[in-house]
Structure 1
Amino acid sequence: MKLIFYGLLIFSLTKATSQKSTPEDSQYVAAVVEFIMSDDVEDNIRNYIHYIEEAAKQILVSISAAARSNQIYVVVNGRELMDCTKNDTGEPCPELKEYIFNTNVVFDRNGAVIDRYRKINLFREYSHTPALSPDLGYFDTDFGVKFSHFICFDIMFQVPAVQSVQKLNVTDVIFSTMWFSELPYLTAVQIQQAYAYEMNVNFIGAGANNISLGNAGSGIYSGRAGALVSIMPGVPTTRLLVSRVPKIPGKVSGKYPGPIDDSLTNTDNLVIYTDPTLDTHVSRPLVPGFQEFTLVDKDVSCSFSIRLKNKSGDAYPHFRAVVQDGSNVYVNREIGVAACLVVACTTEDFKSCAQRYKNEESNVEIENLVIEMTTFKNTYNETLQCDNMLYLPISVRVNKLPLDPTNYTFVEESPITSNGSEKTKNEATATIIDRTKFLFKLNKPQTDLVAFGIWGRLFLNDFDHSNNESKSM
């Protein structure tokens, strides 16, 4: 295996003392690097070594001089070359040619390679080959935590994003990424936090940084507690993020760094794309005051209860309610999507929606917002040993960061039977349930929301146009 490194995550690791974390400890320490990429591979490697040493300084008070590589676990991401024109690959070759994979490699405290994961779902990586088989990445540690790990666009798909957690029964996920943020549902820190929340896992994400292309966003998250530390910088940034991580996701104690807010002067320097299909969805403009209504798109309905307060002058920004039951296409991959959303717009034109605005120009307060989504009931895939759907609570503010989970409530409500009535505890368990409801509401007024809603992935509706492979609900 020949690997050219271009990304870095550092995990650990240890307690905030010189003693290693053990299986009996209630937490471990993790670190990630938001990293500016260089075309000079040797320069990247020198920088990696620097940040490994810097992480060790922050995490360990003292280390044994004999400990190899600072006695921490390290995950690196890079391009792996498998040359099947030679006979020393150590694995079967489908064809006699060179294969290039996007690969995570895991090193233990002694510097030994203990796992490798090849990216399954590629995004505009025309020189790369998808993993030849959908093998999951995972490894055990000496402090009693098993990690799964995957790469960037993989988070959008059932394999590995859902399967690796549910089949392997892990509560801690490692994520290397060069993410292209897209409003309103898929900005980097927004999707990282939403995934950690709904999957109820500790999520450790390290992002490459190139703001002119839209690449930024790293963080460490703990289940329903949200971000222990996160960053979505608007300027070129290389920065080490370190936090204690509870072994039980969401069970946080003590102080944590929390989200690192960007300077207001830097906010608009990061390129953020917009879903080009958004204005084709069913929508309704919102008006000042109280409004209550339902929007329907095919088999998904969204009931909205909203109160907007216009503080002075003409309302700005404008807001719309949106519902979607359909699909989005990303590089020949058509993905099934169901969504309910309230989104900010710079004008009354739907095409202006999902755009950031200057917070100081806002004169609209969202006093109350409740979304009730009636949608497809989740099912279980016996073959993959994981769920066929994933519904995420998404939000993003003007500062490019999501709301703290204390600011909202997200719950699945009563499932619905096939005859349309809600299932009660006294009904026979033999009743077929094919619909369900989700409730997503604000817990306090907000003045800087760009988007707030439920984004569902319907994996059975996915279609790979490059392979002409589809699934059907």
Structure 2
Amino acid sequence: MDSKRLLLLCIIQGLLCSVGYSANLDYYTAGVVEFRQSILGLDAWSENLEAYVEIIHSANASATDIIVFPESTLNALGSTTFVPSPEDGINPCLNGTHYEEFLVTLSCAARNSSKYIVINLTEKQKCEDTPDDPRPCASNGLNIFNTNVVFDRQGVVVSRYRKVHLYAESKNLTYRPELVTFETDFGVTFGQFICFDILFYTPAHQLIVEQGITDFVYPTMWFSQLPFLTAVQIQQGWAYAQNVNLLAAGASRPSVGSTGTGIFHGRQGTLTSVMKHDNGERAIYVAQVPKITRRGRRSLQESRQTAASTNFYMMRDALEIYQTQLLQLDVGTNGSSSGQICQGSFCCNYEVAWRERESPVNAKFYSYRVGVYDGVRQDQNVDANYIRNCGLFACLGPAIEECGLLPEEGVYPQSPVIFTQLVIKVTYPESREFLLIPDTLRDNLMPLEPSQFEWLQEQSSKESYHHEVSFSLAETQELDNLLTFAVYGNYYDNQCTFGVGTEQEQLACGYKGGSSSLRSLGLWLTLMPLILLGLRSR
């Protein structure tokens, strides 16, 4: 039966057959929520809950199969709740004796709306329920977790995930990192992770490598950081690099740097996204998400906004640790520039061309630097990850201290030229765990779409332990509002990276052909059993 006839039959028979219909479609309908949490009192969960339920039952959400809410916008330490184990198949709406009101209410909302609902909450768990954890327990006998909870269409808790990489949070870590997935009746299996987890191998990248997961739910309260790690910028870049569907729901309070929500379809780019520049909002963004198993291109719905206002607080990367050089761009000229910049043995090659632009008298201009960095991200009191970054970024003045900043109130800088060509070429060492991400940003705090750039990552041969990356602005594109154009090389912990460590460590990682000495040692290790066998047979 074709999809049109099946849809007609569903309409005739009513909504009960909507599940079977969605399973036969080549897409599902998802909603992600940008949510401004209440700040009335220390723990205003009641107001947040009321707004959650209103969104779930709103007209905009009516067609959705699954809705994802953001991180840390429901409850807090003052109103923690127990969460049933998914293995127990508990429906808090029907059996809510042991759970807080908001968990029961949202279970009922999932049941009444017949939708999968993903929430993030502050969970409590009795330490006695984790007998395999040898660590000392808190004096109150409880563990406190940053937790995702998934309800199915009946309100049953079908999945629970506890955040692995906390960002300066006074909560517990699981004794062992969790790899959590859940299946749906519309034929898609989802992985899940939370906020800061996106920058690490476990669990996000690991679920793709080990289990082949293609779709992810991602609650976040991201605090954007210029020039490489603003929210939608890294969400879209990660989904593109992994070629997966990402449903990202962001907390919405731009005045403290938190916003960023979107739905991303792998190499095809953004289906819908938002970066709020005002006081934040409570809104759901909905898109039809093509299933990865059936490759298809759908029209993209890119959110367009004006340049960021000063109500947006922005963190800044420690750019002083980068090796950088100022790009000479003369106002009112056409020109080009190319070169190489290195930090240690890690080098970045760039080519830039531009044409002149008309600018108002006394206009404020950005300056630009090309930078490269090979080392650990310097972010205090949180899990560290190793990066190899190379790219171009905007500055409010010529000094490095003026880079990675938003302008003052009423000041709207612009590029002194219109970029007609941007090319970055880098050779990256292979690693057992690494991810290379196209990392772009315009002055409205949105990234370029895949149709606007060209990305090529390849190895010169099967035996090569190097990846050649060429990242360029598409030939049809010109840019006059650029903040970042870079390759973000995430090496997680930098273990098992070719060229790092002793020869023995390299061999343990599987690199047996990287250098003449390694080749020789690897050959001897391979031939030694054969040689000994030959000697014994004589």
TM-score by length of 1: 0.82
Contact 2:149 2:161 in 1 (8 A): yes
* 1:180 to 2:223 alignment: yes
If each structure's helix is expressed as a fraction of its own residues, which one has the higher value? 2
RMSD (Å), alpha carbons: 2.7
Question: After superposition, where does 1:21-100 map in structure 2 within 5 Å?
Answer: 21-38=21-38, 39-54=43-58, 57-59=61-63, 68-84=111-127, 89=129, 92=132, 94=134, 95-96=136-137, 97-100=141-144
Q: Distance in 1 between matches of 2:223 and 2:459?
A: 36
Q: C-alpha deviations, 1:227-267, integer Å up to 9, x for none?
A: 100000012211110110000289454545x2323355x63
Contact 2:392 2:486 in 1 (8 A): yes
* Residue 162 (structure 1) aligns with: 205
Deviating above 6 A after TM superposition, structure 1's stretches of 4 or more consecutive aligned residues are 14-17
Q: Distance in 2 between matches of 1:361 and 1:409?
A: 24
Q: Distance in 2 between matches of 1:25 and 1:219?
A: 22
Contact 2:247 2:264 in 1 (8 A): yes
Q: Which amino acid aligns with 2:431?
A: N
Identity in percent: 32
Q: Distance in 1 between matches of 2:345 and 2:364?
A: 33
Change (3 A) 1:25 1:332: closer
Contact 1:365 1:446 in 2 (8 A): yes
* 1:461 to 2:461 alignment: no
Q: Distance in 1 between matches of 2:406 and 2:485?
A: 13
Q: C-alpha deviations, 1:75-115, integer Å up to 9, x for none?
A: 1101000122xx5x476554443210000011111110111
Q: C-alpha deviations, 1:371-405, integer Å up to 9, x for none?
A: 001121233xxxxxxxx111100001100110111
Contact 2:61 2:284 in 1 (8 A): no
Change (3 A) 1:390 1:253: closer
Contact 2:393 2:403 in 1 (8 A): yes
Q: Distance in 1 between matches of 2:484 and 2:277?
A: 19
Change (3 A) 1:220 1:55: farther
* Residue 466 (structure 2) aligns with: 435
Change (3 A) 1:56 1:83: farther
Contact 1:325 1:339 in 2 (8 A): yes
Change (3 A) 1:353 1:90: closer
Q: How many residues align?
A: 419
* 1:208 to 2:246 alignment: no
* 1:124 to 2:157 alignment: no
Partner secondary structure for residue 22 of structure 2: coil
Contact 1:324 1:339 in 2 (8 A): yes
Partner secondary structure for residue 222 of structure 2: coil
* Residue 268 (structure 1) aligns with: 310
Q: Which amino acid aligns with 1:46?
A: E
Match of 1:111 among 112, 133, 155: 155
Q: C-alpha deviations, 1:1-41, integer Å up to 9, x for none?
A: xxxxxxxxxxxxx9998523533210000001100112311
Match of 1:323 among 368, 372, 375: 372
* Residue 458 (structure 2) aligns with: 413
Q: Distance in 2 between matches of 1:159 and 1:169?
A: 14
Change (3 A) 1:407 1:459: same
Q: Distance in 2 between matches of 1:214 and 1:106?
A: 27
* Residue 333 (structure 1) aligns with: 383
Contact 1:362 1:447 in 2 (8 A): yes
Q: Distance in 2 between matches of 1:291 and 1:317?
A: 17
| Aligned-pair CA distance for 1:67 | 9.3
* Residue 348 (structure 1) aligns with: 398
Question: After superposition, where does 1:186-265 map in structure 2 within 5 Å?
Answer: 186-235=229-278, 236-248=280-292, 251-256=295-300, 258-264=301-307
Contact 1:223 1:250 in 2 (8 A): no
Change (3 A) 1:364 1:69: same
Partner secondary structure for residue 436 of structure 2: strand
| Aligned-pair CA distance for 1:132 | 2.1
Contact 1:148 1:173 in 2 (8 A): yes
* Residue 521 (structure 2) aligns with: none
Question: After superposition, where does 1:303-318 map in structure 2 within 5 Å?
Answer: 303-312=349-358, 316-318=365-367
Determine which structure has more spread, i.e. the larger CA radius of gyration: 2
Contact 2:30 2:286 in 1 (8 A): yes
Q: Which 10-residue stretch deviates more, 196-205 or 234-243?
A: 234-243
Q: Distance in 1 between matches of 2:364 and 2:466?
A: 37
Q: Distance in 2 between matches of 1:220 and 1:341?
A: 26
Q: Distance in 1 between matches of 2:266 and 2:234?
A: 13
If each structure's strand is expressed as a fraction of its own residues, which one has the higher value? 1
Contact 1:301 1:375 in 2 (8 A): no
Contact 1:303 1:372 in 2 (8 A): yes
Q: C-alpha deviations, 1:166-197, integer Å up to 9, x for none?
A: 21111101100000100111100000000100
Change (3 A) 1:307 1:34: same
* 1:366 to 2:413 alignment: no
Partner secondary structure for residue 122 of structure 2: strand
* Residue 5 (structure 1) aligns with: none
Contact 1:222 1:249 in 2 (8 A): no
Partner secondary structure for residue 437 of structure 2: strand
* 1:295 to 2:328 alignment: no
Q: Distance in 2 between matches of 1:356 and 1:249?
A: 41
Runs of 5+ in structure 1 lacking a partner?
1-13, 380-387, 416-422, 424-428, 463-470
Match of 2:438 among 393, 418, 440: 393
Runs of 5+ in structure 2 lacking a partner?
1-6, 66-108, 330-334, 496-504, 510-538
* Residue 404 (structure 1) aligns with: 449
Q: Distance in 1 between matches of 2:233 and 2:111?
A: 36
Contact 1:413 1:437 in 2 (8 A): yes
Contact 1:223 1:249 in 2 (8 A): no
Change (3 A) 1:231 1:160: same
Change (3 A) 1:457 1:90: closer
Contact 1:304 1:371 in 2 (8 A): yes
Q: C-alpha deviations, 1:380-437, integer Å up to 9, x for none?
A: xxxxxxxx1111000011001101111101111343xxxxxxx4xxxxx6x4x23221
